[in-house]
């Protein structure tokens, strides 16, 4: 399985970047209208919920919070939502968001998506999807506008 990792710099302090990634407004702006729900404490369940095949409350992705340090680290397991795959519970990967101050009002964000289960259907799309999502977070944080995703 291939790991995906990229680093980008965002003109905002780490707490502001964290708030955009974990808060409802930033999440909905960038994650196709989905909000991140759940307690961000290790061992807790989280979900990305929003418009989709099952209506406005479609669970697109869910998993367990592995680590959460506001303004510094968010690490989650990932499963596709039940509406997408019958074997959704067997399909997993890990997402890690590392935020570091890199100067005044500058954050170094390193994102990793790894530990893919065998035959996870999203793995093949990762190299194209994550750069778009991360660039959209950067744009939203810096300008207030998410990128217009291609259909």
The verdict on residue 64 lying in a domain is: yes
Predicted confidence (pLDDT) at residue 28 exceeds the cutoff of 70: yes
* Number of independent structural domains in the chain: 1
Residue 150 is assigned to a structural domain of this protein: no
Note the pLDDT of residue 1.
55
The per-residue pLDDT of the chain, averaged, comes to: 94
* pLDDT score of 98 more than 60: yes
* Beta pairing, strands 55-69 & 93-103: unpaired
Q: Tokens 């302090």 identify what position? A: 13
Answer yes or no: is 151 within a domain: no
In a domain, residue 85? The reply is yes
Q: What is the CATH number of the domain that holds 75?
A: 3.30.530.20
Q: Does 17 map to a domain?
A: yes
Structure tokens, 124? 């093949």
Residue 149 lies in a domain: no
Query: Please, are residues 124 and 15 in contact by the beta-carbon 8 Å criterion?
Result: no
Give yes or no for residue 5 having a pLDDT over 70. Answer: yes
Phi first, then psi, for residue 16 (nearest 5°) are -65, -40
Domain span at residue 88? 4-143
Does a structural domain hold residue 70? yes
In a domain, 148, yes or no: no
Average confidence (pLDDT) over 54-58: 90
Strand (E) or helix (H) holding 87: none
Which tens digits make up the pLDDT trace of 57-94?
A: 999 999 999 999 999 999 999 999 998 888 999 999 99
């Amino acid at each position: 399985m291939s790991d995906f990792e990229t680093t980008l710099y965002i003109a905002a302090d780490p707490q502001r970047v964290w708030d955009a990634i974990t808060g409802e407004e930033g999440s909905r702006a960038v994650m196709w209208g989905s909000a991140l729900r759940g307690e961000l404490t290790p061992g807790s369940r989280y979900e990305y919920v929003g418009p989709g095949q099952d209506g406005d409350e479609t669970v697109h992705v869910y998993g367990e919070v592995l680590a959460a340090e506001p303004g510094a680290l968010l690490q989650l397991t990932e499963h596709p939502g039940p509406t997408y795959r019958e074997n959704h519970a067997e399909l997993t990967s890990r997402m890690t968001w590392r935020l570091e101050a890199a100067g005044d009002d500058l954050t170094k964000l390193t994102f990793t998506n790894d530990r893919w289960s065998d035959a996870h259907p999203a793995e093949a799309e990762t190299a194209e999807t994550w750069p778009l999502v991360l660039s959209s977070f950067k744009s939203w944080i810096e300008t207030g506008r998410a990128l217009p995703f291609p259909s």
